[in-house]
Amino acid sequence: MHKIAALLFSIIFILYCHTTYSEVLSKPPIQLATKYQADIAVAEYLVSEKLDGVRGYWDGSTMLTRSGRKVALPASFTLGFPNVAIDGEIWLGHNRFEQVSALVRRQQVPDEEWQHVTFMIFDLPQHPGTFVERYLAMKILVQQTNSTHLQVIKQQTVASTEALFNQLDDVVNAGGEGLMLHFKQAQYTVGRSEYIVKLKPKYDAEAVVVGHTQGKGKYRGMLGALVVKTPAGIVFNVGSGLSDKQRENPPLIGSIITYQYLGFTQKGTPRFATFLRERPSQ
């Protein structure tokens, strides 16, 4: 009996490993954005909302994440999708990142759970034209496909830097994450590109230090993160932005720090919190 049980366990383990391995393919050849710089000529770019979803790459038959993991989409979702490469965002709506991320990671999902998910197109990697030409091709492609799960992210010209930041405020106030700027005359290039720019708001706030966590790896024996508490009572960790010197001699419990963050999670926790400075004692 023990031998049979061991054999069955080995078979299950091999099948599991094979399944897990087959889910991870090569990383897709995608274009990556750079951060916004104040000296860019805004009118030379098309501007769109930066969606808070999961980056997706449709290679003509399979949906891949940025890391190369295969997304287990139901056939009903991709019905009629074109056999050309599409770069976009798997999106469920504003402030739904946690839900769509969990959905993408699952290997068996009922079709109805994908019903309200949309693959929002923002580029065509294999199209040889400029971004303006690619944007026109995207709209034609969606019209021809006629799928409720395939849409184009709206692009528009913004006349000035002032207008750009006004649009950023509108997007953020509506629950969005930020903006993306595509240089109108640029071709699609793989890797980090100065011709695609992301602009996200950053906020500053203060919190009191209520604890320390121990560092790991290269920070072993030093501070890993500050445990802080906001005036509203939200407790979270701040581990980024600290120098080695600050990790060796961290702000004391009870001290007040200023941190930077990019919006909130659904639980009200600041996203991507980064240490800026310790407030001087009075």
Domain boundaries, the chain: 33-198, 203-278
Q: Quick one: pLDDT at residue 38?
A: 80
The 10s digit of each residue's pLDDT in 18-66 is: 333 335 568 999 999 998 888 899 999 999 999 989 999 999 999 999 9
Residue 3 has pLDDT above 60, yes or no: no
Q: Quick one: pLDDT at residue 25?
A: 66
Q: Quick one: pLDDT at residue 202?
A: 80
Q: Percentage of the chain surpassing pLDDT 70?
A: 90
Residue range 3-14: mean pLDDT, rounded: 39
Residue 282 has pLDDT above 60, yes or no: no
Q: Name 209's bridge partners.
A: 228
CATH number of 33-198: 3.30.470.30
Sequence-distant (6+) residues with CB within 8 A of 235 are 210, 227, 228, 229
Give the closest residue to 74 by CA, choosing from 125, 123, 29, 117.
Answer: 117
Exposed, middle or buried: residue 184 (CB in 10 Å: 0-12, 13-18, 19+)? middle
Residue 16 has pLDDT above 90, yes or no: no
Q: Which one-letter DSSP state was computed for residue 69?
A: B
Cα-only R_g, the chain: 23
Residue corresponding to tokens 């099948």: 15
Q: Quick one: pLDDT at residue 128?
A: 96
Q: Which residues are marked as active site?
A: 50
Do residues 204 and 260 make contact, with C-beta atoms less than 8 angstroms apart? yes
Residue 11 has pLDDT above 50, yes or no: no
Q: Quick one: pLDDT at residue 204?
A: 87
Strands (E), the chain: 31-35, 45-50, 54-58, 63-65, 86-91, 118-123, 150-152, 156-157, 178-183, 191-199, 203-214, 223-229, 235-238, 256-261, 274-278
From 46-50, 82-86, 118-122, 166-170, the region with the lowest mean pLDDT: 166-170
Question: Rounded to an integer, what distance in angstroms lies between the CA atom of residue 81 and that of residue 97?
Answer: 23
Give domain 203-278's CATH number out of 2.40.50.140, 3.30.450.30, 3.90.1170.40, 2.30.40.10: 2.40.50.140
The 10s digit of each residue's pLDDT in 223-257 is: 999 999 999 999 999 999 999 999 999 999 999 99
Q: Name 257's bridge partners.
A: 207, 278
Residue range 138-164: mean pLDDT, rounded: 95
Q: Which one-letter DSSP state was computed for residue 85?
A: -
Give the chain's count of helices (H) and strands (E): 6, 15
The 10s digit of each residue's pLDDT in 98-141 is: 899 999 988 888 888 999 999 999 999 999 999 999 999 999 99
Q: What is the pTM of this model?
A: 0.71
Instruction: Tokens for 244, please give them.
Output: 């080695």
